[in-house]
Each structure stands twice: as structure tokens, then as C-alpha cells.
Structure 1
Amino acid sequence: MTETTTRTAPDSGTEVTLPAQTDLLRLATAGSVDDGKSTLVGRLLHDTKSVLADQLDAVHRASADRGLATPDLSLLVDGLRAEREQGITIDVAYRYFATPRRTFVLADTPGHVQYTRNTVTGASTAQLAVLLVDARNGVVEQTRRHAAVLALLGVPRLVLAVNKIDMVDFDESVYDRIAAEFRTHAAALGYAEDAVLTIPVSALLGDNVVERSARMPWYTGPSLLEHLEQVPVAPDPEDVPFRMPVQYVIRPRTAEHPDYRGYAGQVAAGVVTAGEEVVVLPAGLRTRVAKVDTPDGPAPRAAAGRSVTLLLEDDFDIARGDLIAAAADAPRVTDELDATVCWLAEKPLGPGSKVLVKHGTRTVQALVEELTARFDEQALSSVAAPDSLALNEIGRVRLRTSEPLPVDDYAASRRTGSFLVVDPSDGTTLAAGLIGVPLAPFAAAAG
């Protein structure tokens, strides 16, 4: 029997069973409209045999109905795109596929400018991002915008897939020009040279997607899949201090469990172990973990992504929104947030705006005290003290919250170092915020 392990799917928190002998790479795709992203994702799924037979048959039939001589692999993912165009709210589609060497969770994001917020969602857990450009168009405004967002979110590695290389007759000079321009841009965003790989591909024909292409002897690097199989995976989220926002307080008050009081939530970072000392924030109450309950019964420990119920040695007044954290390395508690935000709403953000801040499972009122800078992702420069932030703009803000929040810097813990800005009138998401992330090194940028 094949040994298996369980991991948590980032889109839903549900657990999926994966082969234990392979490690996991979380990646995101991004690119402008019509750069061929759907075809590339479809090609990866098809050529790694990650498509069910009935799905493939449907693609063959639909392609034949359109008069196409070969199957249009973009149809494997275009159903979701059609749903988006019909106005159905779907932030990111997650695709799962595997090879003997590695298992992959791919966050598929749309390319329209107005869906930049989806790129933020998809890249928030990514260890690598594949950014597509059309070889005929090269690096465009949306490419630079996506690269800036990926750098902001701390995605450690980038792949630039120069797609539709067949449409420029596999011209090496076209590829070299695009690759050089993107590497210069990525370096200005703070990426080291070895963190960026450029690959000429034809998603339609399959060149350099799974198999290396014989039509580009001038390219001697790996195919896209070869790189995805071999690239070093970022440090495991278990290697950071334990954090768990409390989602529910469980008190069944039954004859079988008259005194049971558990605190349920998903481990956001690190590992929790029965017997370890923890602190409950923002109150600062210290205690120890008496027991770690899971859906499968008691466990000695639980790692990031696992949904658990913690029983504590002391009977404290703990509620939804509190954070249970490692006592030896606790987050700071503050009512002032200096953060970088990606503004996702049509209406602009200005100083003095009253908003809600959702951090973990706690939502509090907040006031925008100051806009300290706005980042120009095209010119790689910053503008001090802007009047406002508009849709898709990235800026530095200072927020004052009505209640103190236990926060980390985003670089130390993504889950507890990030937050959402929410409209108090209708509950819509206005921005994604990252704590302690400066606009530099973007701001090659500082002037």
C-alpha cells in the first residue's frame, strides 16, 4: 500500500490526501488577458495526466464543434472563467496535480486589471509564481503590476514564461530582449538573480512546458515542469512560532462532558504541542496546553493548517478573535498599524476614512490616520503623502484601531502579519494589508 499524508487545501481549509513520498509546492499563475494562461494550465494538467477521461472527452468534443483540428486545452479551465464573466464571485481556482517527484497546488488567477485583488489572494500562500507574457507584446503594464504585487507579498521565486514563442518563429532575439527587460525589473523589486528564471514556451504546442523543445536548440535550460519539480521549496510554515486565532469556544455542557471548554481554530503558523506554555492575546494571559483535540481524536501536536480544539490548564475568559500564541515568542500587541496595502476598491482611500480591520478572526473599527506613500509599480518610484489611493494602487498607510491587535511582521508570519480592510457600510473588502512591509526595496524607489 502506498503511504499517504494529509495536507490542508489553501482555498477551503479542507484536508486532501497526498502521496507521502513527495513534497508540496504551492504556486500561483499570473498574466495579462490573452497571454495564454488558461492554455498553459490546461497543458500542465493534460501532460501530467491530471485530467479525468470524461473531462478530456468533453474538451475534444467542444474543440471539434468549434472546427479545431486539435483539442483546445484552455477549455479545461475556461469554465471557471465563464463563471467569472457572469459575475459569480470566485476569487481563485485551485488546481491539484502531481508527478512522481512532487505534488502541486496551483492557484489560478484571472488576468483582467480589475481582478488584481485575485492575484493578491492566489499569491498569498505561494512559494513560486509563474508570470506569463505574450512573446509578441513582451513586458506590459500588467506584467509590471503583477510582479510588484508578487514582490510585495514576499513570493520568493518567479518564473517568466515567454509564451506564444511559436508566433514569433521561435526567435531567440525576441526572447532575449523580453528576458533581459524582466530581469532588470525583477532586480529593482528586490529579487536576486537566482530567484528568477525565464523560459520560452508555447503552451499551445507544448514546447518547454513539460518536455524540452527541439525547436529551440538555443535554449538550454529546463522545461517549466522540470523547474517546478526541482526548485527548492521555501521553509515550512512549521518553522515559525505557533499562532492560532480562536474561531469558536466549545462548551457542550453535556453529561458526558460537563466541564469541557475548548478553543477551536486553525493553526495559522508553527506547531502546537500538548504541555507547552502559551499566551492568550491581547489580554496577555499565560497558561499551558492541556490537550490538543483533532477531528481524529487527541494528538500530541498539530502543525500549521490543521484545525484543532485546544484545552488549556487554566479557566480564562477567552472569546472568538483572541489569539493563542507561543509564550516564548509572542507577537506584539498594538493599536497602531504601519502597513503596506493593495487597494482593491473602486472608491479611493483617503486620510480620515473610517474602516474595519479584519485580522485573523477579530474585526475591529479603525481610522486611516495617514497615507505616507504611494508606490508607482511602473516607474518603480514612490510618491510621498498622496491625497488618496485608487483601485489597484499600492501604498503605505498608518491605521489606528479601536482595540489592540496581536500582530507579527508579514515577513515573520504571513497569516498574523496580514489583514483585510473592510467597508463598514456593506462588508465589502477594500484592501489587503501587510504589516511591517516597506515599499523599499521596490522603491529603487525612494527617489
Structure 2
Amino acid sequence: MKNVFSRIIAAISVSVLAACAPQTDSATETGSVRVLAPMSNSKGSYSLDIFELKGITDLQTVAGKFVRFFLSPRIANKQLQGSAPQGRFIKNSDGAFIPANEMTQQLVTIYAHTQRLALLDEELGAGGVNKWPRDVGVAVKVRGGLTNNAFYDGNTDSMLLVPYSSEGLPIPINGGILAHEHFHSLFYKLVMGDERAQIHDRENFLERAIVEDLSVRHRRLLPISTGEEMSEAQMHMYYHLAIIRGLNEGLADYWGWMYTGDPDFIAQSLPSEKATRSLKVRDEKSVNSLPSVENIKRSLNIFYSGAADKARFSDYVTGYAYSLGTQFSRVLKRYTDIYSKARGIEDLQARKDIAKLIVKVLPKMKDDFDKLDLNYYTADKFLKSMFALNESYREEECQFLAEVISSSVATTEEALTCEKMAESEFKLVPKVEVAPVETPSVTESSLQ
């Protein structure tokens, strides 16, 4: 697909060349500018469309209100530093600008998606969290020649994209992956604001080839346990490293689906990730649980006891966080599908409704993490906090949430069930186990 888009752009460029204005016209173009870009729709498909870029201050570098680009930048003093890439355009007879090469095509597409995501922030209640323009590094050079990845860096509040060399949809054009990375910026600012929030922290990014290999391998093959377990202090630290990163990654995957409508948006560019990162499963009804505290602890102890190099154990935790994230994203997608059907609303609107709840719950998560002390943040606590923002549910929604939450609680006393409030309205309530009534046994003496 990568080469297909390039050939399409080349073909269009040749076909309109006779009716085009000189290349220098783009140097003075500002304000709202119409460009041809491969954009995704709400159903997850891509097509070449004329898109209006707003707030352009310099079309030649595709700079403006929403993005400022850097070509192969350096990072110094918590800022990207370097020159801007130079775009090349052909202007057609209708006044629209056609990217004349692959780099320009990617620049206008990134700008278009960033513009859309900024406006979507406003719609979903996250307006003002991000500051614009966003710094974006393209053709980023990473030690080891890393390719095929994107990365939000909270320290510089920038997005970094390394070269794409595969045959799928180029990452700079993949709206779902761009939305995924965009969500990391919301999580970083609303929840943590430090490296613990980033599954893509700088060290992991620089060592990405190793981390990706570990993350995939350890989803498929557990290490052999030696019986050695972590101390309680270690467990508390690594548990929260895993669940915070897992939530960050899982919610970002949901954001990518919310934005594109494509449950396989990652596989469009990274086909090898389809089995482990897709939000779509063969049996939707099997998505009905999240891991409990004890399940997560058990998994971490297995990883820890089997890790030959304890110094690299955090890499195992990173891989496990991806697995946790997929569980969160699939549960939220399943709930969204149930919500859409139960209320008879369009899929896109349902996705946005749940995204609004996510935005609202992020500051609550920060408060919960700040107050943890020696306690554990749990999957059921996240769901309870998020859906407490709803006053009532349809029966199908309530039953699904009750099942998922009850599967991840530590004790049966924390399980939930549904109680009818009014016609078609239900609420989550504690599930009360009724103890069986003992019937007095009849004895010979009692008959006398």
C-alpha cells in the first residue's frame, strides 16, 4: 500500500501538470489551503480527497496553527531542534495543491489529522489540554536504524516518526496510529505527567527493536519459573508500572478505533501486530473480563522468576503492559458496541460518547494514583470510576459491566449486579449473596 499511494500521487501529478501553476506558488500560500491527501473516514477506509488545511502560515514547510515540522531533529533543552522539511506541490486548475512527492504527501496528511484531532479534543471535552502547534519530527534517526514506528514524547510534547519501510499503509498516513499517539499526550498531561505514563518512554524508544521483540515474544511464551518471587515493594512498583502503562496503551488503542472506526488500524501498517493488538475478536461474547490484582501479580511473578537478567525485567513488564492494554481496549469496544445497539445510535456517536467518559475519568485516575500509598489500583476501580459518570444504563449495558467488574474484583463482596430503576433504565448495585436458611432438623426429642 505504501508504494500504491506513491504511484497514485505520481500519476495525478503527471495528469494535471499541463493545467498547473508553477511550483513557486506554494511559497506564498497561507490561511486555509486546499490540498489533496489520503484521508480516512469514520468506517476505517482511506481515499484521496481534497482537504482544507486551516491556519497555514507557510505551505512550503506545511507549518501553521496545528503543526510545526522538523526534519530528522535533535532533542536539546526539552525541545526539537533542526530544519523544516521542504514540501513540493503542484497547483491544479481548481486552486488545490497536489503533493509532488511522498514526503510532502505525508506532511499534509499529518497536518490534516492533527487538525482534526485538535478539533475533536474540543468536542470531547479535552479542549485546552494540548497546546498548538504541535512539534512533529519526521524521518527521525534513531540509534540502530529503527524503522516503522511512531512515538509521543512527553518531555518535548512532540510526536516523532521514524522512516517507514514496510509494504503496508505508511504510519504518517495512518490516522488511527496518529490518533493513538495523540491520546498519549492527553494521558501524559491529565494523568501522570512523567515517564511512568509513557509506554513509549525515551529509553524504550531508543531500544525499540529489542522492546518490540520482547513484547511480542512474551505474549506467546512464558518464561520457566524458578520459584523466586519479588518483594512486596518490588511488586507494588512493577504492578503499577504494568497497569498504568497498560491503561495508557489500551485507551490509546481505543482512541485510534474511535477516530477511524477500524479495529485493525494498527495492522494496516504493522501486519504482525494484528493477532495481539486488534480490537476485533472472533467471538465477541468471550470479551467479558479483566484481570484481577492477583492475576496480574501472578503473571509478574512468573516473568520475574523466569527472567535471566533481572536488570532487564522492566522490558518484560513493558511487553506485559501491551497485553493488559489489549484487554482494556477490547472490553471498551465491546461495551461501545452494546451501547450503540441498546440505544439505537450511530456507531460513530457511540464511540464519541464513550470517549467523553474517558476524558472525564482521566483526572480522577490521577487523583487515585496520587492517593495509592500501599494500596493497588485495580481494573474494576477504573471501570467503576469511569461508568459512575453515568446515572443509568440499558439492561444489556448494565449486565455486561456487572459481569466484567465482578470478574476482576478481589472478593465476592465487591461483585456487582443490576437493579431496575425505571422502564429500560438500570443501575449497578452490590451483589448481595443470600445465605441459605437452615431448617431445624426434626428429631425424636423435638416431637415429644
TM-score range (shorter-chain normalised) is under 0.3
Bigger Rg, structure 1 or 2 = 2
More helix by share: 2
**TM-score when normalising by structure 2:** 0.24
Structure 1 or 2: more strand by fraction: 1
Scaled by the length of structure 1, the TM-score of the pair is 0.24
